[in-house]
Amino acid sequence: MRILVNGASHEIAGVALAAVLEELGYGERVVATAVNGEFIAASARAHITLAEGDRVEVLSPMQGG
């Protein structure tokens, strides 16, 4: 299935958001996620099923100031 991750097209095997994050190498990293513009809490990622063409945003926290 093909989805967009941070604007780039990816062919993925998984369908659950948690599995896709693992597949893309995010593993145990602390990140914020959104699917089609809607924030997805870390606790809900295993229950979110992605579909062809979905837009996933993965954001890492930044420090500094």
Q: How many CB atoms lie within 10 A of CB 35?
A: 20
Say which amino acid occupies 55: R
Tokens of 65: 């100031």
pTM of the predicted structure, to 2 decimals: 0.90
Residue-wise pLDDT tens for the chain (65 aa)? Answer: 999 999 999 999 999 999 999 999 998 899 999 999 999 999 999 999 999 999 999 998 877 66
- CB–CB of 17/6 below 8 Å? no
* pLDDT value, residue 35: 98
* pLDDT value, residue 12: 96
What does CATH list as the number for 2-59? 3.10.20.30
Q: Token pair 């993965």 is at which residue?
A: 58
* pLDDT value, residue 65: 61
